[in-house]
Every structure is written in structure tokens, then in C-alpha cells.
Amino acid sequence: MILCANPQAQYQAHKAEIDAAIHQVLDSGWYILGEQTRSFESEFAGYTGVAHGIGVGSGTEALHIALAACGIGPGDEVITVSHTAVATVAAIELIGATPVLVDIEPDFYTLDPDKLESAISLHTKAIIAVHLYGQPADLTPILEIAQRHGIRVIEDCAQAHGAMYGTRRVGAWGDIACFSFYPTKNLGALGDGGMVVTDNPALAERARLLREYGWAERYVSYVSGWNTRLDELQSAVLRVKLPHLDADNEARIHLAHIYQEALAESTVSVPMVRQAAKHVYHLYVVRSAHRDELQAFLRSRGVGALIHYPTPIHMQPAYKGKLRGADDLPETERMAREVLSLPLYPELTPDELNEVITAVQAFSGENA
């Protein structure tokens, strides 16, 4: 089976370096919030183009900490999308705020700025802009609207490490931004991990306090906080991988271009790229009116295509009938019926890529 994502292949690609980094941590005797984490925080913040990085336990916790650092809590509203990982909405609920949903752009699958203004109320305190599949959201109009209303912008960069909007990387545009290092991400750990990044020193200080019991000094809590720390082993692994991220992203882009050209005349719709943006293809997502049949056909040919995401958050059992804005999301609901992620990762071989393309073309020929 050709996997949709293959984190083991990336480990094998950098095995000697990763093994050496892990042994260095094991031999050091320091396993939580040590030199590896401090160094990675600085290196990743610098890579993103901001001054501060705060390592946490997961991408979900990065969002949770970012919301809390912005002073958001019960009674506040946070605008975001339903076509995203559940983590985006789960973090809003975790902080006690109210999620408010708006629809996505039909071409780029990210928050539609034209739908934003009408969703803002006196209680709106933040917008979470999700850079989905590696495609940057349209930040300029989002930021302009937010600034006009005095609203924070939090970037959800969990799927967009290294993506560019204009001349800056995503994560360097909003008030604060959040990354996940889940193993399948463009920059993936060998377990869970996340980071909050910001140029705002006050938000950085608040986030750093919140991630470990509110401690500014050990055992003294200055604010009520949590325990969500990026550990030394994961930091060491990520430090090995970070220098390879740009090359890995270029490999993803190269593979995506081959897909684009080969599937241009097929019955699937290939992804579009926003003008003046750099899409880093965390996922290569096509659309098909016969998505379920296509997925089954590919599986019969040994191709493990997956659906990201089959059920929008507002239609899931835990949230159905409970989220504001859920009655006006036609593009979101259409996307959920049509999207399919084809295999794509830097280590995907030319033979595997050709097998996927041949299978999609065969399905298209049978369903033209």
C-alpha cells in the first residue's frame, strides 16, 4: 500500500542524525525544558521570522495557550472555520470561549474574508485563521478587518510550516501563531509537540508562564497555568529536521507540480494556489464529485488516499446544533463531500507517484 503520509520514511532519511541527537539527550540526564528545547524555540522562531517561541505539548495546546495569552475566556467569541481539524474548535471550547463559524473560500479552502465582518459582534475577541493543507489563508483582508474592530488574529499554522504569504512566512503575520509537530506534519516530531510563536513580548511572557503552572521561578505560580511542555527528546529530533525543512518543502512542491500537470485533464479538480503565496502541500487535496468511489478504486489499486476532513466540525455528534454560524456553510459542506488527499511526502518515489497518477487517470477514464 502506498501511504498517504509516511513519517517513518522521514526518520529513515535522517536516521543517523536523529539517533545521535536522541542519545545526546539520553546521556545528558536533562529531559524537560533544557538546552535542546531552548535552542529549538529560538531556532524555530527565527526561521518563522518572529522573536519568541514557546514549546508546548501539542498543536491543540499551542492554540489553548495562545487564546489564554490573549486574555480570551468565558463570554468571549472566537471566529474560525468548520473545515479544519477538530483541534481548532476544541481549543476555543477548552478556554471557555464560544466558537463562531464562517464559511471557506471555494478555491483555496481557507476562511473567506468576505464572510468575516457579518460574524463579528461586541463579544468577538479573536479570529483563528487556519492555513489549511499548507495553503496560507488570505491574511491581508483578515488583518485589516481585525484591526478595524480591535480583534486579535491567531494563526493556526499546524499544516503550514514554511508556507509564505507575500514576503513573510505564515506565523509572522498575526498577533500570535500556533504550530503542531505531530509526526505527519511537514516538520514532524516522533510524538506530540507544538509551539506558540509571536513578536509580542508581553504575549510571549504570558504564554511562557501559562505553559508551566504560571511559574516565573520554580514552584512559584504568578498566574493560574497548566502543564504543557515540549520535551527534550522531541526538541532534539526537531532540531535535526529543521535545517532540512525548506528542501523537504521544495520536494513536496515538485511532486505537487507533477500531480498538477498529470491530472489536469482528469475528472478530479486539482488544488489552486493563492497568488503571491507559497503552498507547502502538507496534503495534496483533490476534489471529485465521485470521491467515495474514487477512494475505493484507489485502495483497490494499493493507493492509500485519505479524507481531510470527512465531516465538518459543526456536523459532528459532539457539536451538531451547538455552534454559531453552522446554518450557513455551503462551501464547507460541499468540500467535505468532495475532498480526497493523495499520497504526498518528500520520500515518495517516482514509481509510487506514477502508480498514484495512473490509478487516478484510470478512474477518470472509467468515469468520464
pLDDT for 281 equals: 98
Domain span at 334: 244-366
Note the pLDDT of residue 136. 98
Which of 208, 243, 278 is the C-terminal boundary of a domain?
Answer: 243
**Would you say residue 33 lies in a domain?**
yes
Q: Say whether both 230 and 254 belong to one domain.
A: no
The predicted pLDDT at position 251 comes to 98
**Antiparallel, parallel or unpaired: β 168-169 and 164-165:** antiparallel
pLDDT of residue 368: 60
Task: Kindly state the percentage of the chain with pLDDT values over 90.
Answer: 98
Both 211 and 263 in one domain: the answer is: no
- Cβ-in-10-Å burial (0-12, 13-18, 19+) of 217 comes to exposed
Give the CB-side neighbour count of residue 207, counting CA atoms within 13 A.
Answer: 31
Residue 1 inside a domain? The answer is no
CATH number at residue 49: 3.40.640.10
Tell which of 210, 243, 276 closes a domain.
243
The predicted-structure confidence for 249-308, as pLDDT tens digits, reads as follows 999 999 999 999 999 999 999 999 999 999 999 999 999 999 999 999 999 999 999 999
342/215 same-domain check: no
Q: State the first-to-last Cα distance of the chain, in angstroms, to the nearest integer.
A: 26
My answer on whether 78 and 204 are in the same domain is yes
Q: CA-to-CA distance for 53 and 195, rounded, in angstroms?
A: 7
Poorest-confidence range of 61-70, 93-102, 172-181, 209-218?
Answer: 209-218
Mean pLDDT rounded to a whole number for the chain: 97
Same domain, 23 and 124: yes
Beta strands 215-217 and 124-130 are: unpaired
Q: Is the pLDDT of residue 365 over 80?
A: no
Three-class SS state of 220: strand
Phi–psi pair at 153, nearest 5 degrees: -115, 120
Least confident of 103-107, 135-139, 217-221: 217-221
The per-residue pLDDT for range 127-170, each reduced to its tens digit, is: 999 999 999 999 999 999 999 999 999 999 999 999 999 999 99
Cis check: omega of the bond before 309, within 30 degrees of 0: yes
pLDDT of residue 217: 87
Q: Are residues 210 and 296 in the same domain?
A: no
Shared domain for 167 and 60, answered yes or no, is yes
> What is the total count of domains within the chain?
2
pLDDT interval class at 16 (50, 70, 90) = very high
Please indicate, yes or no, whether residues 187 and 333 belong to a single structural domain of this protein. Answer: no
Structure confidence at residue 273 (pLDDT): 97
Looking at the structure, tell me whether residues 186 and 296 fall in a common domain. Answer: no
- Residue 125 has a pLDDT of 98
CB contact at 8 A, 142 and 129: yes
- Write out the three cell numbers for 97: 470561549
Residues 252 and 197 grouped into a single domain: no
Question: Per the domain annotation, does 2 fall within a domain?
Answer: no
> In this structure, is residue 295 part of a structural domain?
yes
Last residue of a domain, one of 227, 243, 259: 243
> Do 16 and 74 have their domain in common?
yes
Q: Give residue 276's identity as a one-letter amino acid code.
A: A
Across the range 11-37, mean pLDDT stands at: 97
Q: Cell 529513515 appears where?
A: 12
Mark whether 129 and 151 lie in a shared domain.
yes
